[in-house]
Structure 1
Amino acid sequence: METVSIVLFLLLAVVVSGAASRMLPVALPTPLVQILLGSAIGLSTSYRVELDPELFLLLFLPPLLFLDGWRIPKDELLKDVSTVAELALGLVLITVLGMGFFIHWMIPAMPLAVAFALAAVVSPTDPIAVSAIAARVPIPRRMMHILEGESLLNDASGLVCLRFAIAAALTGSFSASAAAFDFLWVAGAGIVVGVVVTLAATRAKAWVSRRFGEEAASQILVSLLIPFGAYLIAEHLHASGILAAVAAGVTMTFAEISRQAMASTRMRRNSVWDTIQFALNGIIFVLLGEQLPAILSGAAETVRVTGHHGVAWLGIYIMAIVAGLGTLRFTWVWVSLKLTLLRRRAGASEAVPLHSPGWRLVAAMSFAGVRGAITLAGVLTLPLTMNDGTPFPARDLAIFLAAGVIIVSLVIASIALPLLLQGLTMPAEPSLQAEDDAARVAAAKAAIRAIERAQHDLAEERDDADFYAAAGSRVMDLYRDRIESRSQGAKVAAEARLQDKLERDLRLVGVRAERDTLVRLARERKIGSATLQKINRELDLMEARYRG
């Protein structure tokens, strides 16, 4: 019963945090609000969450990483794949090595392997926290794609480094050659498992749907089980469950292209996954807040591990780690953007002027390296004991420092990012409007051909052919208007798009009026609840279409 109550408290805090972050006069990011609410729960109730590291890892990371891999725009990612790879792989490796030695030098009482583990968990960034911080100042689309791609890959690379660091701490030994071989197996097998599990599940699901019909609830449940299945199978094979979950999500995008579900299933599935993402990310930050009172109450004992007695030393360590992470990231971002410009100049057909990256762009990319849910999830997976049963060295200290890095990076970014993003522009991107118009024209032509065939088949079965011809003509006229408007010159196409927007706005006005009338009729008992729900669902679909 106590476990159920704890879960309900956590979910309630997540719900309240979303409303509170919008209601507060000061622009506080939602993760900070969730940490504050979690702290309030930890201080005001007798409930305490005892976190099992392995269970925590299993429950939170596979679905979140799977969803990131599934939803990240692949084409946009490929445009800046070199920059993303440099940030997600090179920066993580430099961060683990550089910060690992730095933390061990700063806190000699923390074993080197544990210092590397702490450096590994603070290396991944969290784009969701960045989005929450910059909600009132839009992030340039291209920058957000780079941050999303970096986060997707550095989550995996950082957690794989964490795995090796924990193994070194538990065994007391580390071999570079053995680690390289293990890394190839851990990474390669994990990716293969993720791809195979996703393809097998989607093919089986599609076969059942073709033979026996589609059930939306089952389809959604399968998508929820895939990341857990990929993770557990990979871990059973001593491969990376994290990379398996990421690979499963990326594969899901391509598997869905050839095995599409029904429109209603996709809409319901998106809603379910949006809720799961919001709940899991929120619970992680609320859990951080809930753990804070206990972490702070043990600060006096934690600081003794470092050889000091003043609690202020913990704050100094946190600020030093944040400063080290910021310096490494700023330097690496500047070098990465410089290399990107050099490569583009070398690949250009004629000489182009080479300008150094603007300081605001470099600074914004650097401050956007906020630590969040993955960092907390990773540090909480540190083992409680060593192989011989003794306590894991400096575990509480590592958790304290990681929690401090998360909070300080959130606070600094919430102040600096809106200032840096105000009026910031990224390099110009080619317009996708021509591609959009061509796709709409091709789809409209295919629709006209299909309607003509269906109209002809129906007319052969009945005598009233004119009736079917008139109905088909009305539908095909809509597609012909689209083809004509999208096939004209740029000015005509722009006017057509403006007209489409005006029509959508007017249709939304009509939908709202319909809904208000339905509510009034239901209140006056002129229609029943079943009729109200049925028509409301239709209006919801229409509104989603017009707003999309």
Structure 2
Amino acid sequence: MHTIEVVLAMLVAVVASGYLVRILPFSLPLPLVQIGLGALIAGVFKRGHALDPEMFFLLFLPPLLFLDGWRIPKHGLFRDKGAILELAFGLVVFTVLGAGLLIHWLIPAMPLAVAFALAAILSPTDPVAVGAIASRVPMPKRLMHILEGESLLNDASGLVCFSFAVAAVMTGSFSLAQASLTFLWVALAGLAIGVGVTYGVSTFQRWLWRSFGEEPGAALLLNLLIPFAAYLLAEEFKASGILAAVAAGITMSYVELTGRISGSMRVQRAAVWNTVQFSFNGIIFVLLGEQLPGIVERAVDTMATSGQRNPWWLLVYVLAINIMLVLLRLAWVWLSLRWNLLRARWRGEQGTRMPWRVVLAMSVAGVRGAITLAGVLTLPLMVPGGEPFPARDLVIFLAAAVILVSLVAASLVLPRLLTGLELPKDEDSRREEDIARKASSRAALAAVEKARQQLGEGQSTGSVQLYNDAAARVSLLYQRNLDKGQSPDEDPEKVKRMEQAYRSLRAAGLNAEREELFRLTRRGQISDEVARKLIRNLDLLESRQRD
């Protein structure tokens, strides 16, 4: 019964955190609020909830990585692939080697392989935490896309390095040649399994829909199970379940482009996945807060057994590790930018110099979060000989404390770095949006005209006129997108004000429609079923209007 109570308390804490960040008079990142609520739960229940590391890893990581791969903008991912790959792979290896050696030098009682494991699990960054910090500060889109792409790929590379380091601790040996071959199998097989699972499940689902009709509830549940299926199948073949989940998510974004899923299904699915993402990320940070008192206590005990009885050294270690991570990241980002400028000069191109504030922002934005916590909690309790895993509690404490300090540091520094920062506007996305709106409107107008002609064939004059009037009303909606283009003589500010006025008036009309439907339902003049249907349509129109 205690476990059920703790789980319910954590869910309530996740819900409360969403409101507290809006209610609090001062700005706090959502993860920090959730960590605080988790610590409060631990105080109320007097002890942290015992976790099964493997179960924890399986439950939380696959869906989060799957969703990251699914939703990351692919255009930005391929446009900035050079910078993203340098951060996601080069920086991870640089961090593992550099931070691992420095951690071992700083804490000699920690074996070198364990220090590498800690550095590896600290290498992945968390875009959700950065997004929470930057929610009230205008983060440049391109910078955010690079950070998202880096996080998507360094989750996999960092966790694979972590698994190798843990294996070295468990076996007592490490072979670079064997590790390289294993990495190739782990990576390639994981990617192939992720792609295969998504395509296989999607093909099977489409066959079911064609044969027996669409069942939204079952389809949504099957979609939620895809990352778990990819992860478990990859693990069964000794491949990377992490890479399989990421590949499954990226593949899902391309499967979605076939357009074979109804609009209502997409709306329902987006709502479900948004809830899953918010809940799982929130629960992970609440769990961190709930585990924190016990983690600190066990870390102090570990320090005492290693001969260092002053617990303040823990704070020194945490600050030193955070500083070295920021400096390693800053060095890599600066060297990467210099290398890119040099390559541009060799090709005879004019390289773009990045403002120093952007370089600092990219360095500070390397916030650790859910992946780091989920990974470090999977450390084995014992080595094969039956002895406790070396410095396990200390490693978990240092990882948890680095998450906290990186969140606090980024929440204090990032707003100051980003406020007033002007970068070249991304005109490509606006131009593409205009092209898409006009092209889709032309296609819609042609389809409306074709449908009108088919409906009017062999009908009476009255029916033909009815279809003409209906087609005219529908065509007006699409004609507006075609007439929306700005003429050379038009004042851009006037066009902007007119667009804002249109949106405001349209929103007022939608609100009035909705209020009237609620009023009619309260009076019993229409059924709640009809009201829900009509209000749902208005909600969709309103969400489209905001876009």
Taking structure 1 as the reference length, what is the TM-score of the superposition?
0.95
User: Structure 1 residues 439, 46: closer, same or farther in 2, change over 3 A?
Assistant: same
Greater mean deviation of Cα atoms: 126-135 or 184-193: 126-135
Deviations 1:297-320 (A, max 9, x none): 234312124431110111111111
Match of 1:512 in 2: 511
Q: Which amino acid aligns with 1:436?
A: E
Match of 1:437 in 2: 434
CA distance in structure 1 between the partners assigned to 2:315 and 2:73 by the alignment: 39
Match of 2:104 in 1: 104
Match of 1:368 in 2: 365
CA distance in structure 2 between the partners assigned to 1:266 and 1:143 by the alignment: 28
Deviations 1:341-387 (A, max 9, x none): 333444455xx4x6753321111111100111111011001111112
8 Å CA contact 2:166–2:379 kept in 1: the answer is yes
Number of equivalences: 545
Greater mean deviation of Cα atoms: 29-38 or 46-55: 46-55
CA distance in structure 2 between the partners assigned to 1:359 and 1:434 by the alignment: 29
Q: How far did residue 494 of structure 1 move?
A: 8.5
8 Å CA contact 1:142–1:426 kept in 2: the answer is no
Deviations 1:253-285 (A, max 9, x none): 111111431111101110110111001111111
Greater mean deviation of Cα atoms: 382-391 or 436-445: 436-445
Q: How does 1:378-527 map to 2 (within 5 A)?
A: 378-463=375-460, 464-486=463-485, 491=490, 499-527=498-526
8 Å CA contact 2:298–2:394 kept in 1: the answer is no
Q: Which amino acid aligns with 1:110?
A: M
CA distance in structure 1 between the partners assigned to 2:427 and 2:517 by the alignment: 45
Q: How does 1:300-315 map to 2 (within 5 A)?
A: 300-315=300-315
Match of 2:537 in 1: 538
Secondary structure in structure 1 of the residue aligned to 2:25: coil
Secondary structure in structure 2 of the residue aligned to 1:229: helix
Q: How far did residue 162 of structure 1 move?
A: 0.6
Please tell me whether residue 117 in structure 1 is matched to residue 121 in structure 2.
no
Greater mean deviation of Cα atoms: 176-185 or 433-442: 433-442
8 Å CA contact 1:334–1:357 kept in 2: the answer is no
Match of 1:529 in 2: 528
Match of 1:269 in 2: 269
Q: Which amino acid aligns with 1:474?
A: R
8 Å CA contact 1:486–1:496 kept in 2: the answer is no
CA distance in structure 1 between the partners assigned to 2:357 and 2:130 by the alignment: 16
8 Å CA contact 2:48–2:294 kept in 1: the answer is no
Please tell me whether residue 324 in structure 1 is matched to residue 324 in structure 2.
yes
User: Structure 1 residues 425, 71: closer, same or farther in 2, change over 3 A?
Assistant: same
8 Å CA contact 1:110–1:393 kept in 2: the answer is yes
Deviations 1:509-548 (A, max 9, x none): 1111222233334444554433432332222222122122
8 Å CA contact 1:441–1:487 kept in 2: the answer is no
8 Å CA contact 1:486–1:493 kept in 2: the answer is no
User: Structure 1 residues 267, 355: closer, same or farther in 2, change over 3 A?
Assistant: closer
Taking structure 2 as the reference length, what is the TM-score of the superposition?
0.95
Q: How does 1:36-115 map to 2 (within 5 A)?
A: 36-46=36-46, 48-115=48-115
Match of 1:256 in 2: 256
User: Structure 1 residues 355, 74: closer, same or farther in 2, change over 3 A?
Assistant: closer
Q: How does 1:336-347 map to 2 (within 5 A)?
A: 336-347=336-347
Q: Which amino acid aligns with 2:477?
A: L
Secondary structure in structure 2 of the residue aligned to 1:485: coil
CA distance in structure 2 between the partners assigned to 1:81 and 1:433 by the alignment: 21
Where does the alignment leave 5 or more consecutive residues of structure 2 unmatched? Answer: none
Q: How far did residue 116 of structure 1 move?
A: 0.8
8 Å CA contact 2:382–2:389 kept in 1: the answer is yes
User: Structure 1 residues 517, 428: closer, same or farther in 2, change over 3 A?
Assistant: closer
8 Å CA contact 1:195–1:251 kept in 2: the answer is yes
Match of 2:137 in 1: 137
Deviations 1:64-90 (A, max 9, x none): 000000000010121211111111110
Q: How does 1:183-332 map to 2 (within 5 A)?
A: 183-332=183-332
8 Å CA contact 1:107–1:306 kept in 2: the answer is no
CA distance in structure 2 between the partners assigned to 1:131 and 1:438 by the alignment: 29
How high is the sequence identity, in percent, across the aligned residues?
53
CA distance in structure 1 between the partners assigned to 2:425 and 2:344 by the alignment: 14
Q: Which amino acid aligns with 1:151?
A: S
Deviations 1:403-428 (A, max 9, x none): 11111111111111111111113345
Please tell me whether residue 29 in structure 1 is matched to residue 29 in structure 2.
yes
CA distance in structure 1 between the partners assigned to 2:90 and 2:385 by the alignment: 35
8 Å CA contact 1:2–1:47 kept in 2: the answer is no
CA distance in structure 1 between the partners assigned to 2:47 and 2:307 by the alignment: 32
CA distance in structure 1 between the partners assigned to 2:452 and 2:387 by the alignment: 77
CA distance in structure 2 between the partners assigned to 1:214 and 1:484 by the alignment: 38
Greater mean deviation of Cα atoms: 297-306 or 104-113: 297-306
Q: Which amino acid aligns with 1:87?
A: L
Q: How far did residue 491 of structure 1 move?
A: 4.2
Q: How far did residue 503 of structure 1 move?
A: 2.6
Where does the alignment leave 5 or more consecutive residues of structure 1 unmatched? Answer: none
Q: How far did residue 392 of structure 1 move?
A: 1.1
CA distance in structure 1 between the partners assigned to 2:348 and 2:483 by the alignment: 37
State the Cα RMSD in Å. 2.0
Q: Which amino acid aligns with 1:423?
A: G
Deviations 1:121-142 (A, max 9, x none): 1111111111111222121111
CA distance in structure 2 between the partners assigned to 1:446 and 1:522 by the alignment: 38
